[in-house]
Structure 1
Amino acid sequence: MKALNRSVARNGATDNQLLISTLSPAHRAPILALAKRIADSGCNLADARVSTIGNDTSVMLLASGSWDAVAKLETALGKLSRDEELQIVHYRTTPREPTAHLLPYLVEVIAADRPGILVKIIEFFSRRDISVEQLSSMRYQAMQTGAEMFQAQITIGIPAETHIAALRDDFLELCDGLNLDAIMDPVKF
């Protein structure tokens, strides 16, 4: 637990981080209320993810600031969860270690929907010590035929020592065997 509460000096200032997560009905998404609490406490919004899935919205935020600003934010979040009847989970975390040895690649997959596609893709990368950094997937109906389709976009971190051409060949071979249409390209910033 000691590692969760440690501070890291960055640019001469102490940087503490608080990871905040909420789930709520889409019409009650608390992004504005959370962003205001973060700013009012003296913290910065370092990272944010908002996603509406079905009728619900997931909000995940990373706030950073001095120790006392983060403590003030923790208090404000407790009050917000009581006043707005929101389920809020938060805890202190530490800045992520630099990942200069990981190469960011984007994987996109489209296929006729069937159970287990995502499991096989994630398993492929996991066996090769390739991290899944971001993932978004969904089911939808094809416009022309009405067939149930599956789509995924996955950002992965490939260790720099990995032979990219061989990895891409192995991945595309897996996709051919599963009858998936897929690409794997470097992330372009």
Structure 2
Amino acid sequence: MTDPTPRPSPNENHLLINAYTTHPESPLLPVSRRVADSGCNLADARLSTVGRDVSMTALAVGSWDAIAKLEAMLARLEREESLKLVWYRTSEKEVRSDLLPYVVEVVAADKPGITFQLADFFDRQGITIESLHCSRYRAMQTGADMYSAQITIGVPASMHIAALRDDFLEFCDHLNLDAIMDPMKF
């Protein structure tokens, strides 16, 4: 009996790595060095300082044996350095040509639940959130706590964009959020 799930080609193995450390240290150099030393490539990586910590999410791609070597190197790295690491095997993202990329920007007086309300709005519309960056800051003139979010979404091509934009802006007006939704410019 044959397995219905096709095996990845020898060079299409993927390892998702999350690494964390305390600022000013960074996981970028030690993790990217292990990826290179194992014979893998970094297909995607993101680094961010959040609070007092630095986090990195990376996708390594390589042959089965190179990924296995990288896993062993990461286990050793975690024991020897002051890094917290989580990794697991995954696969590449399914390409969806039916999604249109849009950028959403939101600014508002900070209050609990804004991120949840935005995520809930898009989820109810059947829209995927591809990336999200939100933060708090103090307004220069008033000192008020402010909220800012930049969100990249995938809008189904079959969706009526003008109606979606109208619904979103009405939703934001109801919550007193200043927002825009524009097509992504490459």
TM range (shorter): over 0.9
Tell me the TM-score normalized by structure 2: 0.94
Amino acid across the alignment from 1:8: P
CA distance in 1: counterparts of 2:76 and 2:105, whole angstroms: 41
Counterparts of 2:85 and 2:110 in 1: how far apart (Å)? 33
Asked if 1:72 is matched to 2:72, the reply is: no
Larger deviation, residues 49-58 vs 114-123: 114-123
Q: One-letter code of the match for 2:49?
A: T
Shift of 1:122: 1.0
- Equivalent in the alignment of 2:33: 36
| Identical columns (%) | 57
Distance 2:60 2:125 in 1: 32
Deviation at 1:97, TM superposition (A): 0.8
**1:19 pairs with 2:16:** yes
Match of 1:163 in 2: 160
When normalised by structure 1's length, the TM-score is 0.92
Q: Quote the Cα distance in structure 2 between the aligned partners of 1:7 and 1:49.
A: 28
Paired residue for 1:60? 57
Hey, what's the Cα distance between the residues in 2 that align with 1:7 and 1:120? 40
Whole-Å Cα distance in 1 between the matches of residues 7 and 98 of structure 2? 24
Contact 2:21 2:82 in 1 (8 A): no
Deviation track 1:14-70 (CA, whole Å, cap 9, x = no partner) reads 310000001210122221011011011110000001010111011110000111111
3-state SS of 1:27 partner: coil
Distance 1:85 1:55 in 2: 14
User: Any unmatched runs of 5+ in structure 1?
Assistant: none
The two structures, once aligned, show a CA RMSD in angstroms of: 1.4
Superposed CA deviations along residues 107-161 of structure 1, whole A, max 9, x for unmatched, are: 0000011111121111110001101110000111100111111000010111111
Out of 138, 148, 151, the position equivalent to 2:148 is 151
